[in-house]
Each structure stands twice: as C-alpha cells, then as structure tokens.
Amino acid sequence: MNCPKCGQGVPDKAAFCIHCGYRFPADPSFVPPPPRDPFAPYSPDPAARKPFQPLCITSFISGIASLLLLLMGFCCGLFALVSFGLAITAVVLGVMGRKHYDPALHRPDSLSLGKIGLILGIVGLTLFVVGLFIMLLVFGISFLAEMGRLG
C-alpha cells in the first residue's frame, strides 16, 4: 500500500510510514478484546458449576441426619429429641430454600434437593410423633396394669 501523506510504498501491515512517520489509522478489521470491567458482576460460564442453594442443601442434610438420629433414638432418647429438631429444621429450610432459589445463582437441582429435605423432614416428624405416641401408649398401659395390680 502507499502512504496517504507522502505517497511512498510501505509494507501492508505497517503501523506507520517508514518514510515520513505518518501514523496509519488502526486496522478496522482488528477488534481488540474488550477490557474486563473489574466492577462488573461476575458472570460465570454457563458450563461452570454453580453452588447449591445453601438453605436447600442444609435442609437435605438435616433431613438425612434427622432420620439417622431417629434410628439411634431407639437406643437413646436424647437422639430422638435432636432428630425432632433436625426434622423441623429440614422442613423449614426446605421451604425457605426453594423460595430463595435463584436459577441465575444456584444449581437447578437445588430445588429437588430442597424438596427431598422437606419430605425427609416430614417423614422424620411423622415417625417421631408416631414413636412418641406408641411409647406413651405402652407406658400408659403398663402404668394402668401396675395400678390395677396394686389396687
């Protein structure tokens, strides 16, 4: 190509004229990559792993722990009481987590995780109440039998 200022031939890819020093306008075909705005919100790659909704995963863990502790509650009543608390936690966090789920921020399977936590919590609560009822029934019957024997 030729320099638009002095008309002399210059290499095609030259940034400026080697004869007169004229600076050629930037090549329009070259688009520099946009500089990364440090203040822009972090936009993760769609393929990148998103975290689970924290309340959903807590609900899920609480639900499983609740059922495990309920089984251990057959050995020690204290475990059953902790299981009761965890079951309530699983239900509450399951509902809250599903409400606070944001598809832009969280893994989509957070919803099913929260649902499982919710169901496990309800199952745990039901089993706890049923177990408590049976225990009171057995205790009541043996108490009445004892009273009948004494009376």
Q: From the list 1, 20, 81, 135, which residue makes contact with Zn ion (rule: CB under 5 A)?
A: 20
Distances in whole angstroms, Cα of residue 81 to Cα of each of 31, 61, 85, 110:
66, 17, 7, 28
Helix (H, G, I), strand (E, B) or coil at 52: coil
Rounded Cα distance, 44 and 68, in Å = 37
Q: Which H or E run contains 63? A: helix 54-72
Q: Which stretch binds Zn ion (CB under 5 A): 12-20, 38-46, 49-57, 81-89?
A: 12-20
Assign 3-state DSSP to the chain and report helix, strand, coil percentages, each to 5.
55, 5, 40
Closest distance of CB 10 from Zn ion, Å: 7
Q: Which stretch binds Zn ion (CB under 5 A): 13-21, 29-37, 61-69, 93-101?
A: 13-21
Closest distance of CB 29 from Zn ion, Å: 22
Q: Which stretch binds Zn ion (CB under 5 A): 17-25, 50-58, 108-116, 130-138?
A: 17-25
User: Does 17 sit near Zn ion (CB under 5 A)?
Assistant: yes
Closest distance of CB 36 from Zn ion, Å: 37
User: Does 24 sit near Zn ion (CB under 5 A)?
Assistant: no
> What phi and psi, each to the nearest 5 degrees, are found at residue 24?
-75, 145
User: Does 22 sit near Zn ion (CB under 5 A)?
Assistant: yes
Q: From the list 2, 15, 16, 19, which residue makes contact with Zn ion (rule: CB under 5 A)?
A: 19
Q: Which stretch binds Zn ion (CB under 5 A): 22-30, 40-48, 97-105, 132-140?
A: 22-30
Rounded Cα distance, 79 and 66, in Å = 9
Rounded Cα distance, 21 and 82, in Å = 82
The binding site for Zn ion (CB under 5 A) comprises: 3, 5-6, 17, 19-20, 22
